[in-house]
């Protein structure tokens, strides 16, 4: 028994040396802070070695935005109730699209499908959009208005 313990100690210390943090280099990473969730949709801030982005995601859809664009989207979403009331007053189907930085926010009211908000890059070719209902739009609006502060917080805390 004593012989194996004597052999195990040098092996343990040799392995310990291999796992010292200063031997590792982080040159690529992706950190995601899940800020808020409503229904099946979520809001997060994602930081990589190259950028910090705000992400709105659903089941199979998402849109990534610069923090400045996300703040502009938040300001537009803060008007969801007013836009809903105005569209409802017109009656029937109604659509309205608003630019928010490099993002377009489209409001849609349909008698059968209700009120929805589509958020997508203005110069989108494929993918990169999300559809929110009125409850989600109202919930994410205030968080998105703080997007620049949220991104700055992540940048200050997560440094490679």
Structure tokens at 157: 């805390």
The CATH classification number of 26-157 equals 3.30.2450.30
Task: Give the integer Cα–Cα distance in Å for 66 and 72.
Answer: 10
pLDDT digits (tens, 9 = 90+) for 61-91: 999 999 999 999 999 999 999 999 999 998 8
The first and second tokens of residue 125, run together, are: 């070719």
3-state helix, strand, coil in the chain (%, to 5): 40, 35, 25
Phi, psi of 85 (to 5 degrees): -60, -40
Q: Is the pLDDT of residue 126 over 70?
A: no
User: CB-hemisphere CA count at 13 Å for 46?
Assistant: 16
Domain ranges of the chain: 26-157
Residues 129, 63 contacting (CB under 8 angstroms): yes
> Quick one: pLDDT at residue 27?
84
pLDDT, position 26: 80
């Amino acid at each position: 028994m004593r012989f194996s313990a004597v052999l195990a100690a040098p092996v343990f210390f040799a392995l310990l040396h291999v796992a010292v943090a200063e031997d590792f280099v982080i040159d690529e990473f992706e950190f995601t802070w899940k800020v808020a969730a409503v229904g099946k949709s979520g809001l997060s801030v994602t930081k990589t070695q190259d950028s910090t982005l705000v992400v709105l995601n659903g089941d199979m859809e998402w849109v990534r935005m610069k923090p400045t664009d996300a703040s502009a989207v938040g300001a537009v979403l803060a008007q969801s109730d007013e836009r809903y009331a105005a569209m409802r007053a017109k009656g029937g189907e109604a659509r309205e699209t608003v630019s928010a930085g490099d993002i377009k926010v489209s409001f849609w009211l349909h008698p059968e499908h209700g009120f929805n908000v589509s958020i997508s890059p203005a110069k989108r070719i494929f993918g990169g959009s999300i559809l929110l209902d009125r409850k989600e739009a109202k919930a994410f609006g205030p968080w998105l208005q703080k997007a620049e502060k949220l991104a700055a917080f992540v940048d200050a805390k997560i440094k490679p």
